[in-house]
Amino acid sequence: MSGDIAVLGAGMHPWGKWGRSFVQYGTVAARAALADAGIDWSDVQSVVGADTVRCGYPGYVAGATFAQALGWQGARVTSVYAACASGAQAIGSARAQILAGLADVVLVVGADAAPKGFFAPAGGDRPDDPDWLRFRVLGATNPAYFGLYARRRIALYGDTVDDFAQVKVKNAAAGALNANARYRKAVTAEEVAASAVVADPLRLLDICATSDGAAALVLSSVDFARRHGATDPVRIRAVSTVTPTYPKAVLDLPDIATDSAAGAEPSPHSFRSSIARAAYEEAGIGPDELSLAEVYDLSTALELEWYEDLGLCGAGEGAKLVRDGATALGGRIPVNTSGGLASFGEAVPAQAIAQVCELTWQLRGAAGSRQVVGARAGITANQGLFGHGSAVLAVR
């Protein structure tokens, strides 16, 4: 049995700060995906919702919440939570149901109404929760980690703040062409340098915002897609949700300590590179066969690490790719043609799904002025707290 599933439809609610419920955003995205697929809501046999974390129940039962909002029709429901990897976990759950023959058509939805400013812990004392501890013990918000990652690159590879700024310049240029992006304005390196310092050496324009937004996909078996008239659909060929290996010798959000390497040698590969490697192995495709990538640019410096983790270049060579224009629109391997989180901001349960929406439009040749000519294969890369890997590889 083929491991491929088809992407019949992709839809989004534009991202921003809209002041409405995540349910409204998700319903808009779901209806857009259904319309794109040419599928009636009544034809959907399963709904997988990527959870958001909120007080009360609706965010934790996203599958049922979206099914109810669209109108109960008997579909099975699944709700998944994996922090920023929730969307990939939702796609993986849908894929498993399709390949197992439990459903022919599955709707995947992720949506969020994010708080203003950086993410903070929920109330209550949880001394066994590393996410709670790093806020309460260190006062270490997400940007503090981003700054540490950037300092590490400067120390190891000689990256500069201008290298980081050029990532923002590149992504803002792509986001300016995307109607779903929150920030649709090109910026210069000088504007990045003039923005306020948030976590040295990173400035405000080096770090992604928090946003409201939603994304949805209609997934199906390849046989159903062909019966439905989609003779050459975009296909998801691999979903990687691997975890780290022991010992973890490099600090990673949200942990505030590393494992001891006294009893075992650390893996020669980083956690992030293992996420991509698992996707390549499952798909039978290598990084040299990619047409584009969508990566998790929480900060400009972190995007450079993803280039290396995806095998687009060697360790320490990410900045050179940006300087050479290789990852810009029109370059050898465009990265974040959507504009990335730099242009969208974080809507946590939606972002990994949104990445696959961008791959879908690119592989269809329907991305307009952002189009990568002749796109045939693309990968997404994301990462959730607590060791949740996230990569999806799609082909046409």
pLDDT for position 54:
62
Residue 395 · residue 377 · CB < 8 Å: yes
Interval 350-372 mean pLDDT: 98
pLDDT for position 1:
41
pLDDT tens per residue, range 257-290: 888 888 888 888 889 999 999 999 999 999 999 9
Interval 341-369 mean pLDDT: 97
pTM over 0.85: yes
Question: Residue 7 to residues 219, 294, 343, 364: CA-CA distances in angstroms?
Answer: 5, 17, 24, 10
pLDDT for position 99:
97
Alpha helices in the chain (DSSP H): 22-37, 62-70, 86-99, 130-133, 142-157, 161-175, 189-194, 222-227, 271-283, 300-309, 318-323, 340-344, 348-364
Distance CA 187, CA 138 (A): 33
Q: What is the mean pLDDT of the chain?
A: 94
Indicate the pLDDT class of residue 36, thresholds 50, 70 and 90: very high
Distance CA 328, CA 75 (A): 42
The residue type of 36 is D
pLDDT for position 129:
86
Interval 143-163 mean pLDDT: 96
Closest CA to 245 of 214, 211, 216, 269: 269
pLDDT tens per residue, range 216-252: 999 999 999 999 999 999 999 999 999 999 998 888 8
The residue type of 132 is W
